[in-house]
Amino acid sequence: MRRNIVQGILDHTKSAPQKPAIRSPGFELTFDQLSGIVLTYGLHLQRCGVSRRSTIAVHSGDPIVVIASALAAALVGCAWVFDGEAMARAQAVQVTHRFRTLDVAAPAPDGCTVIDTSWTRPPDGHSDTSRPRFPGFVRDDATWLIFPSSGTTGTPKFMALSHETTLDRIAANAVEFPTGNEACAFLFAVHSPPTLIRAICALTCGASLVLSTDTDFWTASGVTHVFGSPSQIKHVLPDQPLPTRIAKALIGGDFLPDELASRLLQSFDTVVNTYGSTETNLVVENAKSITDNGKISTHTVWHDTEIEIVDETDQPLAPGVEGIVRIRNEFLVQGYLNSPEAEAVAFRNGWFYPGDRGVVTQDRDFTVTGRTNDTFNLGGVKVNAALMDFVLQSVPGVDDAVCFMMPARDGLQELIALIRASAVAVTPDIVSEARIQIATTFSTEATPAKFIFSDVIPRTENGKPDRLACVAMAMSRRAASTR
């Protein structure tokens, strides 16, 4: 049997109990305090009847509750899933116990147990002098964490990560935290798959989590790593370079434009565009650097993974030829829970097909060029949605942008651009410049029929554009305007 993941955190607690484990403005939790919370959460789960045969669903906006409950699930030996929006549309996950905190606004389901401040203390009747005992997992291949897919194509699929697979992924991620003195700022929600695994990995290595988007707080906390999506980091980073350089920015969830990479390299020693999925773990990293002539250079770092570019008949293509991406490594999940049709499409002959298109060059550099279902046919002109997003995001005054197709009032499909403008931007200027750049990059036929401005750009927990949610938002606005 593999050692329980919580033991690694307890080991760091013994060696440095007062070292900060989690920090946010005005709040700090030491390793000793975090370990105590995890143990008491385990006791409360057992008091609620949770056992190795249970699957618990936790809904909370408090990242400490998310982390502590997931680690407590490892102690008890049960499966854990975040009870968020994806679960509301789920049919595949059979939950036995539901928990939530008081900050969740949605009505609590019947039988839901509230996690409150009393959970930081042992349950009534438990002796403070007796050492808590927990069964842990019955087998290494027992399910620990259940995560949804990105859900950009409709109903999310769920997948189970075993104790063994999760520990293997954590071990692979540990290369980011070699000294244990790192401080990591996460811009994704902690319950999102890549963040939760990386956060637990950082803690087992003795590194600290910094839960803040305040760049001044990053400096005060000695942040060494920042994890986020291109849109998140662009929104958070000030226009001027940071006064104190940070060691590394790891940007995932979407394509990292060279313009943004160049801007990040003024504030970070190393900028990496990561590629992977919940199904595969981290696959490759595209490390960005500035050449002597001021251009951005990209070098691909592979992570014990095979990537092939194939055609529609699964025949491998020559280097440099764009095609369908398929992935194979030792971190693959076994498939989707109770979703045989989706599983048959995505998992075939030992390969995972993420739905991306890409290119592998002769020098083994890898680039994602778009999604297999994200190509728009606009008046005979085929447009890659990811490239269109990039062009829109490059317009001065645009903080974020996503394009999508939706039915017009006459029933035909039309291209829409959803834009979040900066506070000082003038929207007519943005539209005018966007039209020019799109016509220059593609053609006038590729110009969006409408430009919609919004303070919110729907994205999945992994940072990918949620085009279905964009359509729903636009349709809702249209319906409201006709009332």
pLDDT, tens only, 236-261: 988 789 999 999 999 998 878 888 89
pLDDT mean over 158-176? 94
**Is the confidence at residue 153, as pLDDT, over 60?**
no
| Alpha helix (H) residue ranges in 442-481 | 467-481
Query: What pLDDT score does 173 carry?
Result: 92
The bridge status of strand 323-329 relative to strand 305-310 is: antiparallel
Residue with tokens 């942040």: 223
The pLDDT assigned to 403 comes to 93
Task: Write down the pTM of the prediction.
Answer: 0.84
Maximum mean pLDDT: which of 146-160, 169-183, 397-411, 419-433: 169-183
- Is pLDDT at 2 greater than 60 in this prediction? yes
| Residue 75 amino acid letter | L
The tokens for 344 are: 């048959």
Q: How far is CA 266 from the centre of its chain?
A: 24
How much is the average pLDDT of 229-236? 86
More confident residue, 376 or 311: 311
- Is residue 372 scored above 70 in pLDDT? yes
Does the pLDDT of residue 152 top 60, yes or no? no
The structure tokens listed for 38 are: 């995890």
Cα separation, 65 vs 374, whole angstroms: 37
pLDDT for residue 129: 62
The span from the CA of 36 to the CA of 126, in Å, is: 14
| pLDDT for res 212 | 95
**Distances in whole angstroms, Cα of residue 224 to Cα of each of 68, 204, 220, 227, 246:** 23, 17, 11, 10, 5
How many helices and strands (H and E) does the chain possess? 13, 26
Mean pLDDT value across residues 12-30: 94
Q: What is the mean pLDDT of residues 159-167?
A: 95
Separation of alpha carbons 243 and 377, rounded Å: 45
Beta carbons of 69 and 56 less than 8 angstroms apart: yes
Please, which pLDDT band fits residue 154 given cuts at 50, 70 and 90?
low
**Alpha carbon distance 372, 325 (integer Å):** 9
* Mean pLDDT estimate for the chain: 90
Please state, in angstroms and as integers, the Cα–Cα distance from residue 314 to each residue in 284, 307, 334, 343, following that order: 21, 13, 20, 17
Poorest-confidence range of 129-143, 165-179, 217-231?
A: 129-143
Tell me, what's the pLDDT at 110? 81
> Is the separation of the CB atoms in 210 and 217 below 8 Å?
yes
- Per-residue pLDDT for 151 more than 60? no
Is 461 a residue whose pLDDT tops 80? Answer: no
Give the separation between CA 465 and CA 456, rounded to whole angstroms: 12
| Segment 111-147, tens digit of pLDDT | 899 999 999 999 987 766 667 789 999 999 999 999 9
**d(C-alpha 18, C-alpha 15), whole Å:** 9
For position 444, what pLDDT does the model report?
84
Distance CA(100)–CA(85), nearest Å, equals: 13
Cα–Cα distances in Å, from 135 out to 32, 123, 165, 197, 413?
22, 18, 19, 22, 56
User: How many whole angstroms separate alpha carbon 385 and alpha carbon 367?
Assistant: 15
> pLDDT tens across 427-440, in order?
899 999 999 999 88
List pLDDT tens digits, range 56-102: 999 999 999 999 999 999 999 999 999 987 786 667 789 999 999 99
HSE-CB of 139 using CA atoms within 13 angstroms: 6
| pLDDT: which is higher, 230 or 419 | 419
User: pLDDT band at 280, cuts 50/70/90?
Assistant: very high
Residue 106 in this model has a pLDDT that exceeds 80: no
> For residue 175, what pLDDT is reported?
93
Please tell me the distance from the alpha carbon of residue 227 to that of residue 249, in angstroms, as a whole number. 6
**Nearest-angstrom CA–CA distance, 135 and 112:** 24
pLDDT of 394 reads 86
Map out the domains of the chain with their CATH numbers. Answer: 5-228 (3.40.50.12780), 231-371 (3.40.50.12780), 375-481 (3.30.300.30)
Highest mean pLDDT among 232-241, 364-373, 415-424, 454-463: 415-424
